[in-house]
Structures are given as C-alpha cells and as structure tokens.
Amino acid sequence: MVATVEKPTSAVAPRRRQREINLRIPGPTTLPPLVRRALSGQMINHRGPEFAALQDETVAGVRRVFRTQNEILFFPGAGTGGLEAALVNSFSPGDAVLCITVGSFGERWCEIARAFGLQVEQMAWPWGSAADPAVVADRLAGGPPVKGVMITHNETSTGVTNPVGEIAPAVHRAGALLLVDCVSSMGAIPCETDGWGVDVAITGSQKAWMIPPGMTMLSVSPRAWEATKTAKLPRSYWDFQAALEFQKKGQTPYTPAITQMYGLRAALRMMDEEGLENVFRRHHEIADYTRRGIRRLGLQLAADLRYVSDTVTAVVAPEGVDMKLVHKRLRDEHGVILATGQEHWRETHFRIGHLGYVRRSEIQQALRALGEVLGR
Ligand SMILES: *Cc1c(COP(=O)(O)O)cnc(C)c1O
C-alpha cells in the first residue's frame, strides 16, 4: 500500500494531504474527528456561565486521568511552561533540588531550575537507561538535604519510562517535594499522582490528550500548596494561587485557551467511553506491536528493555544508513512522518510516536514503509 502525498497546490490541497499523513511523532499527535469538530466551536464569554461549566467538566475529567484528588490547574502555554510553573510556585532562590535526568527533557528541566537560581544537583543516567531507585534512595538518605526532587516520568527523547513509583518513597522519607514531568505519559501510561504521592504533576495538551498544542495542565498536592505560600521565586503569569482563586469563581485570571478546552472536553468523553484502563492497555499493546515490528526489521531498540516506553519508541539507526534520506523517503513516498533523534542522537537514532489517537493499523503502515525504504 503506497499512499501518495501531494504537494499542496491550492487552499483545498492541504486538507487532503493531512488526511493521508501518518504522523508518528511523539506530539503533536493526530486529532480524532470528534475533537476536530469540537475545535470549531464558537467563542464564549470566558467570564460567563458556559465557561464555568466547561472548566468544571474538563477539570473533573483531567483529575480522573491524573488519578488524584489534588487541585488541577490549566494554563495556556507549552508543556515547558508547566515545568517552569511547577518550579516557581514551589521554591525560593538558592533552594537545593535534586534533578534526575535520563535524556533531553530532564536536562531541559534542570536548565530551567538553574535559570531561576536554584541550587541544582543533577543525577544523570546515560541516555537509554532509567533512573535507579536504589541509587536515588541512597543519595536522598545520605547527602545534603534537598527541598525537591524533579524527575521525568516518560523521557520522550529516549523512549524510557522511569519507575517513579519506586523512587517516590525515598523522596517522601527525605521530606522533599516530588515534581514529575508527565508531559508524554499522562493519559497513556498509568501515572499514579495520589498513589505515588506526586506533589506537582505536569502534562501538555498535544501529547496523549488528543488535542492541539497550547495548554499545560498541572496537579498540585496540599503539601505543594503549603510550599507555594512561602516560595519566593518570581512569578506572575504562572501563579498557582491566582489560578485557583479564579477557578473557584468559574474563571481564570487571564483569557483561557477556550478552543483547547472544547477539544479536551470531547477527548475526555472519548477516554471515558473507552475506559482509562482500556486506553492504557491499547497504548501498551500498540507499543509492544511496534517493538516487535522494529526487531523483526532487524533494528535495535535504544531503551533499556525493562523500562521501554509505551508512548514512544526510540530506535538505533542502522549503521551506514543516511537517516535524512530515510525520513525524506518515508515522508514523500509513504506519507509517514517519524521523529529524528534529539541532540547527540539526532543522526544515530529515530523515534516512533504511538500515543493518543493511535491505532495498530497506523503502526503497521509505518513499519511496512520503514522496511521498504530500508530494504533499498
Ligand atoms: C513534549 C515534552 C515536553 C515539552 O513540551 P512542550 O509543549 O514542547 O514545551 C516536556 N517534557 C516531555 C517529557 C515531553 O515529552
């Protein structure tokens, strides 16, 4: 099956083109038809009762997916904004934090912490590995105290899912706040916000949520709220207290991302209908199918097999193959868009996204195309 991709030549062409594309990157992800329809909703007064109802429904739905009783806050912005928001509401300049990294997104979060003047101790694992709970526990039991621990749940650059649940107890014993980047896991892989005692969990609209980029969602535990009261890092737009105060009145401090919330309402109804456990199971089965297919092509997974991600698969590029050309052929001849590696993995690895609105047939087509292109 060869899907031809036409160059857009008129205002009508891009629509046709988009439908034929198999977008296999780990976000932004493909939108379901129901969500696309919801996105065309007319604007409403963001200080009126319709908005209050929209906010109530979406906050409650997101709370269920986060598996938490904690407060849920939305901010228009990228996931990275949510990562910044978590820090500025939790800490004061000079506070010591332990930043656990296994790839590019963890490293980015460390950089943000440094930019705000936190005293950052980075515990880095090589790309492809997961953080070792025993090593983290040793450090927290032995070394100088830290106010918080930051960790990426699912490292999108390497296709690794960190065992956050096994790391959390040591963080709690140390009396530190647990901040978790769940941008590419929440809604696809079980992320037990309350079960693990995550103080601030952060996600982004364009990953597993099946809606466009532009909104970050966070959960804030009672302990994190206490910390917010004394946290002195500069913040204005990202202020949690202002956001919650307005949410209680059915509003937001600034103009909300109404369109994303229309999409989110539709997406949450879809997730409810499928059942969250079934959503998780679908992601696991499709990820497993992807991994088996990659191996059948004679390719090697980049991630430690014990911690492979169910939302993104990172693959070692075959030796001597020009991956730029492979990506181009996949795109031009098959309509398949894969993600390149990130940073020093750019040329040596590639990634397949399988999160959100994804079906097995799309992976099948992508793998078949990959086999065909690599076979030449
Ligand atoms: C995508 C992603 C981010 C960043 O999200 P943006 O919306 O691009 O800022 C952060 N962390 C992880 C794990 C991600 O996958």
Q: Which atom of ligand 1 is nearest to the CA of 312?
A: 15
Amino acid letter, 195? G
Residue 200 in any domain: the answer is: yes
Same-domain pairing of 216 and 322: no
- The residues, ordered by sequence, that sit 6+ positions from 295 with a Cβ below 8 Å of its Cβ are 301
Rounded average pLDDT over 127-141: 98
Report yes or no: 363 and 352 within 8 Å, Cβ to Cβ. Answer: yes
Number of domains in the chain: 2
Helix (H, G, I), strand (E, B), or coil: what is residue 140?
helix
Q: Is the CB of 214 under 6 A from ligand 1?
A: no
Q: Is the model's pLDDT at 10 over the cut of 80?
A: no
Residue with tokens 């919330």: 261
Helix (H, G, I), strand (E, B), or coil: what is residue 111?
helix
Question: How far is the centre of ligand 1, averaged over its atoms, from the C-alpha of 166 (Å)?
Answer: 23
- The residues, ordered by sequence, that sit 6+ positions from 18 with a Cβ below 8 Å of its Cβ are none
Helix (H, G, I), strand (E, B), or coil: what is residue 319?
coil
pLDDT reported for residue 311: 98
Could you say which of 239, 272, 305 is where a domain stops?
A: 272
pLDDT reported for residue 19: 46
Q: Is the CB of 129 under 6 A from ligand 1?
A: no
Rounded average pLDDT over 130-142: 98
CATH number at residue 144: 3.40.640.10
Helix (H, G, I), strand (E, B), or coil: what is residue 152?
strand
Question: CA nearest 252: which of 87, 72, 88?
Answer: 72
Residue 7 in any domain: the answer is: no
Question: How far is the centre of ligand 1, averaged over its atoms, from the C-alpha of 204 (Å)?
Answer: 7
Domain that holds residue 217: 33-272
Question: Containing H/E element for 336?
Answer: strand 336-340
Q: Is the CB of 78 under 6 A from ligand 1?
A: yes
Residue 4 in any domain: the answer is: no
Same-domain pairing of 310 and 166: no
Q: Write the pLDDT tens digit of every residue in 150-178.
A: 999 999 999 999 999 999 999 999 999 99
Q: Write the pLDDT tens digit of every residue in 87-104.
A: 999 999 999 999 999 999
Question: Containing H/E element for 274?
Answer: helix 258-274
Same-domain pairing of 293 and 321: yes
CB atoms within 10 A of CB 192: 15
Same-domain pairing of 138 and 260: yes
Pairing relationship of beta strands 71-76 and 96-101 according to DSSP bridges: unpaired
The residues with which 315 forms a beta bridge, in sequence order, are 301, 350
Same-domain pairing of 44 and 75: yes
Q: Which atom of ligand 1 is nearest to the CA of 83?
A: 10
Residue 166 in any domain: the answer is: yes
Q: Which atom of ligand 1 is nearest to the CA of 153?
A: 13
Reported confidence tier of residue 20, pLDDT bands at 50, 70, 90: confident
Residue 214 in any domain: the answer is: yes
Report yes or no: 375 and 297 within 8 Å, Cβ to Cβ. Answer: no
Residue 9 in any domain: the answer is: no
**On the CB side of 166, how many CA atoms lie within 13 Å of its CA?**
11
Q: Is the CB of 187 under 6 A from ligand 1?
A: no
Report yes or no: 165 and 108 within 8 Å, Cβ to Cβ. Answer: no
Could you say which of 232, 249, 272 is where a domain stops?
A: 272
Residue 89 in any domain: the answer is: yes
Beta strands in 114-251 (DSSP E): 119-124, 148-152, 154-155, 160-161, 177-181, 200-204, 215-220
Question: CA nearest 293: which of 370, 185, 200?
Answer: 370
Q: Which of 74, 112, 183 to mutate to test the pocket of ligand 1 (most atoms within 8 A of CB)?
A: 183
Question: Containing H/E element for 301?
Answer: strand 300-301
Could you say which of 228, 257, 272 is where a domain stops?
A: 272
pLDDT reported for residue 16: 46
Helices (H) and strands (E) in the chain, counts: 14, 14
Q: Write the pLDDT tens digit of every residue in 297-333.
A: 999 999 999 999 999 999 999 999 999 999 999 999 9
Same-domain pairing of 99 and 182: yes
Q: Is the CB of 159 under 6 A from ligand 1?
A: no
Same-domain pairing of 104 and 200: yes
Same-domain pairing of 337 and 216: no
Report yes or no: 177 and 197 within 8 Å, Cβ to Cβ. Answer: no
Reported confidence tier of residue 207, pLDDT bands at 50, 70, 90: very high
Alpha-carbon span 362 to 352, nearest angstrom: 11
Cis peptide before 28 (omega within 30 of 0): yes
Chain length of the chain? 376
Q: Is the model's pLDDT at 15 over the cut of 80?
A: no
Residue 1 in any domain: the answer is: no
Alpha-carbon span 23 to 339, nearest angstrom: 9
Q: Which of 105, 107, 311 to mutate to test the pocket of ligand 1 (most atoms within 8 A of CB)?
A: 105
